[in-house]
Amino acid sequence: MRQLFMMVAAFAAMTASAQFGPQRGNPVVPSVKAEVEDFKPATTNQENKQFPAVNSKRQVRAQIVAPKATFVGLDIAGKIYEMTKDENGVWTGTSEPQDEGFHYYQLNIDGANVPDPNSKYYYGASRWGSGIDIPAADEDFYTVKNVPQGSVNEVYYWSSVQQKMRHGYIYLPNEYYTNPTKRFPVLYLQHGMGENETGWSAQGKTGIIMDNLIADGKAVPFIIFMDNGLDTRRPGDPDPAQMRRQFGQGGPRPQGGQRPGAQGGRPGGFGRGGFGNFFEAFQEILLKDIIPMVEKNYRVIADTEHRGMAGLSMGGMQTRGITLANPTTFAYVGMFSGGTFSVDDLKDAADFKKTNKVLFMSAGGRETRMAEGDGSVGKAAENLKAIGFNAHSYVSPETAHEWQTWRRSLYQFAQLIFK
Amino acid sequence: MRQLFMMVAAFAAMTASAQFGPQRGNPVVPSVKAEVEDFKPATTNQENKQFPAVNSKRQVRAQIVAPKATFVGLDIAGKIYEMTKDENGVWTGTSEPQDEGFHYYQLNIDGANVPDPNSKYYYGASRWGSGIDIPAADEDFYTVKNVPQGSVNEVYYWSSVQQKMRHGYIYLPNEYYTNPTKRFPVLYLQHGMGENETGWSAQGKTGIIMDNLIADGKAVPFIIFMDNGLDTRRPGDPDPAQMRRQFGQGGPRPQGGQRPGAQGGRPGGFGRGGFGNFFEAFQEILLKDIIPMVEKNYRVIADTEHRGMAGLSMGGMQTRGITLANPTTFAYVGMFSGGTFSVDDLKDAADFKKTNKVLFMSAGGRETRMAEGDGSVGKAAENLKAIGFNAHSYVSPETAHEWQTWRRSLYQFAQLIFK
């Protein structure tokens, strides 16, 4: 029950954070004065769009033409900044300084929550909508460079579990193409709640991070498969829309006492749509459909020592659940902003311990429960090292439950695995 | 000059059509009564979104919450349908019947043109924005099925011409993976004005169409490379935003008399940003960067008989210009809604004639200048057959200058080539 409590506490902390993006009910605050007028268009803008723009203090300025509107707001990081209209019907507003990295945002026009027509669109906060990348001191590691390029490939495949075609993305390193007889390890990499299979390659910049790491000799070439960890409905399952309504904005509510790590085939003690469902339903698809498909269709080293799983937030909890329930399947395990493994989890897990080569846990520095103190990833790694695990932790400086934390986590984790 | 006139006329017709999507100044008309109340959510909707919905008469119904708005309009196919508000602040409106297939659209909220938050987003009409797929009688050919799957791969590569990293998509057929020593032909496939390298794989459904055709034995497996035919700015070139403003909504204005098919290295008689620039600037990138990269990085049969080029609209005109200027480079040539090759173009083009194996021209049935009469693709094919070309034409029933025409054109063209 302690583990369950900690998972629920971690999840509650997450759901209150920025991953879920703009919410109804965010407070309306006045647009802020710019600390410095050196705004540049965001890199996430549509081609040739001057707004949104970011200044060197990381304030965001948005602009939109809406001559007949009576209210326009910039909804970012939990506040709606009230924009002001000029004589031409052009509304402009400026936010407070934002954290480095990627944030979801939206505009509110007379009560309608809409994407900003100037931004590119990303899937997160349970919708396709606007995103903005705030320049970061360390952005070099996720910047496209003239180095040997792999590719991120969009694939469809048949799911025997769901009896339908599924959709995922596979990163193949450059050497997959240049060395046509070589086989590669595979990392199965999962997104968080409110996100989908596009997140890791789009806002996560997985392909770019990996190409750069491999070119620098910091990571060995490996394959990454990115799938949808929420698309788990099987024939006869209840309507997922209803499940989502049940969870609402407060995150899932456990409905029973089954241990999250327990195997159960179909969702058990937590009820349909409960906590267990998040990893058990996806576990079935991962083990029966995804891994066999990847190992059949690609030049993969199909053994435990060359198979890893990691995920962010809910994807980290899925990783925890699936790797505990299948202790001899994955040698490399990563949880990014997804809580921790505890000594209680692992002290008697002989198969897991024998199999595991790297156990990695990370969090954003602003995720204080996971970043600091007794419940932190650092403390967990220390405790796990003491019982013999090759445990690692990482805290991303000055970032919250957002993609900059997870880009950095992947960058760190990728350097540790399959070596 | 006659050829130039016809190209300009064709282009003017195109720019007035629906490819360019919602325009400022579209007339506001009342929402229409539904002919039948059997609306279903569009397949292009975001997950679990009930609107926009389409009925069996192909009317589109949009809905958005905007409690404080005084005007909300559904802007589709050249008209803005004024939506009406209920007591809960929910606005609803219904359009006239639409053509089968894919259309760009947007919402107008109190004068702001914004994406519909319920739709997925596509690049076209020179912006990322809303799109909707209207069910079509023949949609089976672009529906995902449980057949051997290829993949559409996102790749970056270095452009020596532009001195920067470029971005494109490559379709690799299933056999590329299953038969690791086989080499394949390549089709270079271009989008139209206002679109980019994402169009053919997203709304064009290239990968799905090809997987289905190959599985049915109707097409031989080949590779397709899809790139951005408007991203041609080189160091020292003028600002492309300025070029676009110059073209405005009326399409490019030729500024001189140089024959479009003439070689000229850097843009010549048409001036920077003129007509010639559309194919000459892209030609340089295609020949110096794209084709060498594809032939180096992928298992390609790197000869003329296994190399094709096709494009839609402006991409068709680029195809025409580039294949005429490089008559021994491509054996298979396709122009979709991009005008025609004339006997005048080709009667003395000995190298082109000797090299060409299939010359394909298509148009939407509603593109009357290209679909019917003396200027039609059918008449052009007939004339070219008479001088010895293996010319083919296709007219897509009851579609305009839109993606359903081009999906069908690819479906037809792909069955003719590399055989």
The C-alpha atoms of residue A396 and residue B9 are separated, in whole angstroms, by 58
Q: For residue A374, give every residue at least 6 positions away whose Cβ sits within 8 Å of its Cβ, in sequence order, or none.
A: none
Chain A residues whose beta carbon lies within 8 Å of the beta carbon of residue B180 = 180-181, 299
Alpha helices of A173-290 — where are they, by DSSP H? Answer: 174-178, 206-215, 240-247, 275-285
Choose the weakest-confidence range: A235-239, B95-99, B304-308: A235-239
Binned at pLDDT 50, 70 and 90, residue B252 comes out as very low
* Cα distance between residue B16 and residue A53, in whole Å: 33
The mean of the pLDDT values for chain B is: 89
The better pLDDT of the pair B252, B291 is held by: B291
For B8-44, the pLDDT digits (tens) are: 444 444 444 443 344 467 999 999 999 999 999 999 9
Q: Which of A7-21, A114-128, A343-357, B226-240 has the lowest mean pLDDT?
A: A7-21
From B67, B110, B172, residue closest to A66, measured CB to CB = B110
Per-residue pLDDT at A236: 86
Chain A positions in Cβ-Cβ contact with residue B207 (cut-off 8 Å): 154
Contacts of A201 in chain B (CB under 8 A): 154
Contact A153 B152 (CB under 8 A): yes
Q: In this structure, are residues B102 and B110 in contact, taking their beta carbons and an 8 Å threshold? A: no
> Do the beta carbons of residue B136 and residue B407 sit within 8 Å?
no
Question: Is B114 within 8 Å of A117 when comparing Cβ atoms?
Answer: yes
The answer to whether A71 contacts B71, with C-beta atoms less than 8 Å apart, is no
Cβ contact (<8 Å) for B68 and A64?
no
pLDDT at B24: 60
- What's the average model confidence in pLDDT over A174-187? 96
- Which residue in chain A is spatially nearest to B211 when comparing CA positions? A156
Residues on chain B touching A144 (C-beta within 8 angstroms): 156, 165
Distance CA A117, CA B115 (A): 6
pLDDT bin (cut points 50, 70, 90) of residue A17 is: very low
Q: What pLDDT sits at residue A237?
A: 83
**Can you tell me whether residue A349 is helix, strand or coil?**
coil
Measured between CA atoms, how close is B401 to chain A, in angstroms?
A: 23
Q: ipTM for the complex?
A: 0.89
Interchain pair A110, B144: CB under 8 A: no
pLDDT band at A218 (very low <50, low <70, confident <90, very high): very high
Identify the bridge partners of residue B97 per DSSP, sorted by sequence position.
B59
Closest chain A residue by Cα to residue B68: A110
Q: Are B154 and A151 within 8 A, CB to CB?
A: yes
Judged against a pLDDT cut of 70, whether residue A18 lies above it is answered with no
If you count DSSP H runs as helices and E runs as strands, how many of each does chain B have, helices first?
12, 20
- Looking at residues B383-389, what average pLDDT do you find? 98
Q: Which runs of consecutive H residues, i.e. helices, occur in B20-61?
A: none
Q: Compute the nearest-CA separation of B107 from chain A (Å).
A: 10
Q: Is the pLDDT of residue B253 over 80?
A: no
Dump pLDDT digits (tens) for A85-95. Answer: 999 999 999 99
Could you give the percent of chain B with pLDDT greater than 70?
85
Contact residues, chain A, for B114 at CB < 8 Å: 64, 107, 109, 112, 114-117
pLDDT by residue (tens digit) across B73-95?
A: 999 999 999 999 999 999 999 99
Best to test chain A binding among B24, B43, B47 (most A CBs inside 10 Å): B47
B313 CA: distance to closest CA in chain A (Å) = 21
Among A117, A165, A241, the residue with its CB nearest the CB of B48 is A241
For residue B240, pLDDT beyond 60: no
The full length of chain A comes to 419
Rounded to two decimals, the pTM is: 0.90
Tell me which chain A residue has its CA closest to the CA of residue B167.
Answer: A144
Question: What local confidence, expressed as pLDDT, does residue B2 receive?
Answer: 47
Structure tokens at A377: 């990833």
On chain A, the residues whose CB falls within 8 A of the CB of B64 are 112, 114
User: Distance (Å) from the C-alpha of residue B77 to the closest C-alpha of chain A?
Assistant: 19
The pLDDT assigned to A276 comes to 58
Q: Is the pLDDT higher at A109 or at B5?
A: A109
State yes or no: pLDDT of A40 exceeds 80.
yes
Q: Looking at residue B134, what is its pLDDT?
A: 98
pLDDT score for A22: 46
Which bin fits A357, alpha (ψ -120 to 50), beta or left (φ > 0)? alpha
Q: What is the pLDDT of residue B13?
A: 46
Residue A402 in 3-state DSSP?
A: coil
Establish, for the pair of chains A and B, how many residue pairs have beta carbons separated by less than 8 Å: 146
> Is the CB of residue B173 less than 8 Å from the CB of residue B210?
yes
pLDDT range class, residue A252, cuts 50, 70, 90 = very low
Mark yes or no for CB contact A144/B128 under 8 Å: no
Residue A305 has pLDDT above 60, yes or no: yes
Residue B375 is predicted with a pLDDT of 95
The per-residue pLDDT for range B189-207, each reduced to its tens digit, is 999 999 999 999 999 999 9
Chain B closest-CA separation from residue A243 CA (Å): 12
Among A22, A101, A35, A59, which Cα is nearest to A365's?
Answer: A101
Cα separation of A85 and B290, whole Å?
Answer: 46
pLDDT for residue A244: 55
Q: What is the pLDDT of residue B263?
A: 31
Q: What pLDDT score was predicted for residue B27?
A: 95
Place of tokens 């880009």: A407
In the predicted structure, residue A234 carries a pLDDT above the cut 70: yes
**CA dist., res. A325 & res. A349, Å (int):** 10
CA dist A351 and A328 (Å) reads 6
pLDDT attached to residue A67: 96
| pLDDT value of position B241 | 59
Looking at residue A25, its pLDDT comes to 75
Q: Where are the alpha helices (DSSP H) in B104-200?
A: 174-178
> What pLDDT shows up at residue B236?
86
The predicted model gives B131-150 an average pLDDT of 98
Q: Nearest CA of chain B to the CA of A170: how many Å?
A: 9
Closest Cβ opposite residue A121 in set B65, B121, B170:
B121
